[in-house]
Amino acid sequence: MAGGQVHTTYDVIIVGTGPAGSTAAAALSRGGLAVLGLDKETHPRYKVCGGGLSARIEQVLDPGFQSVVEQSVNGVQFVYRGQDPLLIQSAQPIAYMVMRDRFDHYLVQEAIDAGAEIRTGDGVREIKQDSGGVEVATGTGRYRGKIVIGADGANSLVARQLFPDRSQFRAPALESEVFIEDGRHYPGATTILVDVGAARQGYGWIFPKRECLSVGVGEFRRKTTSLRSTFDRFVKEEQGLTGWTVPRPVGHPIPAYAEPEGQQADERASRFVVGRAVLVGDAGHLVDPLFGEGIYYAVRSGQLVARAILAHKDDHCLSLAAYETALEQEILPDFRVTARIARVIYAFPRLGFKLLRRYQDVVQDYFEVLQGRITAQQFLPNAKKRLKASVNDLLLEALHLR
Ligand SMILES: Cc1cc2nc3c(=O)[nH]c(=O)nc-3n(C[C@H](O)[C@H](O)[C@H](O)COP(=O)(O)OP(=O)(O)OC[C@H]3O[C@@H](n4cnc5c(N)ncnc54)[C@H](O)[C@@H]3O)c2cc1C
């Protein structure tokens, strides 16, 4: 292994201090464990991301996170290839916009304040596990721990080295930050734009920040070779961007959750744990397959793994099994629902856009999912019932029976 002498032994070593890693570090340290967080970058650092937090984040983070919120959002302007704007609003915030450098720095600071040791600017190169623990080598040192948490994002080294059988599919996304003058936000300071027709199996977005617009496109369900031209077309078709300089977009994968085909439930669960190693956030592909939302799930999975480890401090098998159970109860059932919705919307985006216009109350209900009032599982049956009833209405109208 790289590095020299093994340094201090820790209860938990966390590779990556994005939202998943730093949230886990804070919770584990508060619970009295010796925690080391390692990151190849030094915070605050730029991260390619829309920075849209669904409002349910309020239920899982301390209110202090509001200090790094740039804008509150209470409306979505849907368009199809830049046309036919449809604004749907909510009385309450549905999302909060952050710049990831400030948001992630805030979370890392919380972890340090809780007692975690954070070492940055030193990437992890190799991880090995044996019956007694794990050994993690960076460019400059070696560290030993009882458990290693892979929180190192979409290109996770932990996943590649210790979970070789996991799916490597990651959807491509591109984003650019457009600096705007005098707060001239488009489509509005409290409104996000979602272009349902911008990408073949995804969408285009414009998210308002204090001094800029985050403009991007993502494809969540298939590989594409021409995302740059999709991005350029999106920018051209959004008239609100005319006159602004849109810098060259930066690419980064989005590891949207996908159910492995043909596996039994017990085999599926073991995708998150191998021995003393466990995956959270993007490293575990815990990203919503409908919108590509990953920050909430990074934070939540970081908290769930910490809760499980603290509940069974002396037994890594029990604790990591408890984490997988928690994912099965709290996160994965919703992903299965949103994956079903994504399959329909992204296969038939024009029809999906028409349905949004016609069934705005269903969209309002989905806002309640984003606000954490109901789960996606609770949303689906009512939405299906309403859509079915209305489809009947449409048929009757078409037959002049109404
Ligand atoms: C274009 C784009 C737009 C997006 N927009 C949104 C959005 O609006 N809302 C939303 O919720 N999600 C969005 N996402 C997804 C979101 O960015 C991720 O889901 C989220 O960052 C996951 O957090 P994480 O902590 O798991 O990983 P990350 O935030 O990626 O953090 C991983 C950390 O690990 C470190 N690291 C990596 N390798 C090593 C190593 N070898 N050694 C040490 N450290 C390492 C990295 O430096 C990094 O700090 C977007 C993604 C993309 C690509």
Nearest Cα residue to atom 6 of ligand 1: 50
Q: 168: CA distance to ligand 1 center in Å? A: 16
pTM of the model: 0.95
Q: 18: CA distance to ligand 1 center in Å? A: 6
Nearest Cα residue to atom 37 of ligand 1: 152
Query: In the chain, what are the domains?
Result: 6-51+99-168+258-330 (3.50.50.60), 171-254 (3.30.9.10), 349-398 (no CATH)
Dist. CA 221–CA 163, nearest whole Å: 22
Alpha-carbon torsion (37, 40, 46, 49), positive or negative? negative
Dist. CA 399–CA 163, nearest whole Å: 56
Closest atom of ligand 1 to 301 CA is 26
Dist. CA 230–CA 227, nearest whole Å: 5
Closest atom of ligand 1 to 295 CA is 11
Q: Of 391, 373, 297, which Cα lies nearest the Cα of 93?
A: 373
Asked whether 116 lines ligand 1 (CB < 6 A), one says no
Nearest Cα residue to atom 41 of ligand 1: 124
- Which residues are bridge partners to 117 per DSSP? 36
- Which residues are bridge partners to 78 per DSSP? 86, 194
Are 69 and 96 in contact, with CB atoms under 8 Å apart?
yes
**Which residue, chain included where needed, has tokens 């490293």?**
283
Q: Of 108, 103, 126, which Cα lies nearest the Cα of 118?
A: 108
Per-residue pLDDT of the chain (402 residues; tens, 9 = 90+): 555 667 679 999 999 999 999 999 999 999 999 999 999 999 999 999 999 999 999 999 999 999 999 999 999 999 999 999 999 999 999 999 999 999 999 999 999 999 999 999 999 999 999 999 999 999 999 999 999 999 999 999 999 999 988 877 788 899 999 999 877 899 999 999 999 999 988 999 999 999 999 999 998 766 666 899 999 999 999 999 998 999 999 999 999 998 876 655 555 546 899 999 999 999 999 999 999 999 999 999 999 999 999 999 999 999 999 999 999 999 999 999 999 999 888 888 998 898 899 999 999 999 999 999 999 999 999 898 887 776 666 666 656 554
Dist. CA 334–CA 378, nearest whole Å: 9
Asked whether 202 lines ligand 1 (CB < 6 A), one says no
Q: Which stretches within 331-375 are classed as H helix?
A: 332-347, 349-358, 360-370
Pairing of strands 212-219, 142-150: unpaired
Asked whether 147 lines ligand 1 (CB < 6 A), one says no
pLDDT digits (tens, 9 = 90+) for 298-333: 999 999 999 999 999 999 999 999 999 999 999 999
Asked whether 16 lines ligand 1 (CB < 6 A), one says yes
Asked whether 157 lines ligand 1 (CB < 6 A), one says yes
> DSSP 3-state assignment of 24?
helix
Q: 78: CA distance to ligand 1 center in Å? A: 26
Asked whether 48 lines ligand 1 (CB < 6 A), one says yes
Pocket test for ligand 1, best of 170, 234, 252, 254 (most atoms within 8 A of CB): 254
pLDDT score for 238: 96
Are 8 and 31 in contact, with CB atoms under 8 Å apart?
no
Dist. CA 273–CA 377, nearest whole Å: 25
pLDDT score for 269: 47
